[in-house]
């Protein structure tokens, strides 16, 4: 049986969450570094396939392997896989066309879109405070992508990249909504396992659109992407065993610092003031939502624990 959730070890929860976020940022940097040589579908395949042995080993260690194989809603896992795989592929495409900090910043809009979808799909009531937070976040999104809506070859590539990341953000919002329903009937271990399996199968179909045979060194890096993704997912899931979602959510925004540091050192990238300004508005809107949900007693721990930030 899974260990019960406790909020009595917040320091451990924060350490696990930060460790996961660092690994996810490193994974994104590796994807970006390899994006000139490999199509997104191939990288999604490696990311998903080599996360599976890590996840299985973790489930064995936790004594949850049996629960991980039981899918009470097979089609629910399939559609979670379709949405998550699409989000991952779109994000990987965006990483090939945009600076790492910019992809990270646009991704912060996921909670804003999740709140909008929750109102329409789940019937959640959203009052003025959260409506204002959504409006603030959407203004931030527009500010971030507006400079990318230009013309010319370079600008067109950047526009495609920005739109891909924005679409990935919306897809991840659908994933959040879907998982809120899926965790009501299926064990979190099953959701984590079947996503990696479904994503591997779906991304494997892209072989027909042309894959590149990697060198041994490149193959090692592709495998590393999958291993890092698997470990990061485990750290995220584990962090929610020791801390509430409302406490851990603000730490997601440390990825901007990690992305700026890695982007500058590895790719010689620096964020623009416009991008940082838009990101600040999105983060502000998200923080208002987090505080409001804490006040309302809403806790998304179970759903967030099985939602991959990069899926």
Instruction: Return left, alpha or beta for 3; rule: phi > 0 is left, psi -120 to 50 is alpha, else beta.
Output: beta
Residue 1 confidence class, pLDDT cut points 50, 70, 90: very low
Q: Is the confidence at residue 6, as pLDDT, over 70?
A: no
Residue 308 confidence class, pLDDT cut points 50, 70, 90: low
Q: Is the confidence at residue 295, as pLDDT, over 50?
A: yes
Domain spans, the chain: 10-304
The 10 Å CB-count burial string (b at 16+, else e) for 261-298 is ebbeeeeebebeeebbebbbbbbebbbbbbebbeeeee
Give the up-direction half-sphere exposure of residue 130: CA atoms within 13 A in the CB hemisphere: 20
pLDDT tens digit sequence for 22-55: 999 999 999 999 999 999 999 999 999 999 999 9
Q: What is the pTM of this model?
A: 0.90
């Amino acid at each position: 049986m899974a260990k019960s959730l406790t909020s009595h070890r917040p320091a451990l929860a924060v350490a696990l969450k930060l460790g996961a976020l660092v690994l996810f940022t490193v994974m994104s940097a590796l994807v970006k570094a390899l994006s000139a040589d490999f199509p997104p579908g191939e990288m999604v395949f490696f990311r998903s396939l080599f996360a599976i042995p890590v996840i299985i080993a973790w489930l064995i260690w936790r004594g949850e392997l049996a629960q991980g194989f039981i899918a009470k809603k097979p089609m629910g896992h399939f559609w979670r896989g379709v949405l998550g795989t699409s989000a991952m592929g779109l994000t990987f495409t965006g990483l090939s066309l945009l600076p790492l900090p910019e992809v990270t910043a646009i991704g912060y809009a996921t909670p804003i879109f999740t709140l909008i979808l929750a109102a329409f799909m789940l019937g959640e009531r959203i009052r003025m405070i959260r409506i204002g937070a959504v409006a603030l976040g959407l203004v931030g999104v527009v500010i971030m992508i507006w400079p990318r809506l230009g013309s010319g070859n370079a600008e067109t590539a950047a526009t495609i990249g920005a739109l891909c990341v924005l679409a990935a953000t919306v897809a991840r919002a659908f994933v959040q909504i879907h998982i809120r329903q899926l965790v009501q009937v299926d064990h979190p271990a099953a959701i984590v396992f079947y996503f990696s399996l479904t994503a591997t199968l779906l991304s494997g179909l892209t072989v027909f659109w042309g894959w590149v045979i990697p060198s041994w060194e490149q193959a090692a890096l592709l495998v590393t992407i999958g291993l890092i993704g698997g470990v990061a997912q485990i750290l995220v899931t584990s962090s929610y065993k020791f801390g509430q979602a409302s406490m851990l959510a603000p730490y997601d925004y440390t990825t901007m610092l990690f992305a700026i540091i890695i982007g500058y050192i590895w790719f010689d990238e620096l964020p623009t003031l416009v991008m940082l300004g838009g990101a600040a508005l999105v983060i502000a809107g998200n923080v208002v939502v987090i505080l409001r949900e804490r006040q309302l007693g809403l806790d998304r721990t179970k759903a967030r624990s099985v939602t991959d930030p990069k899926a």
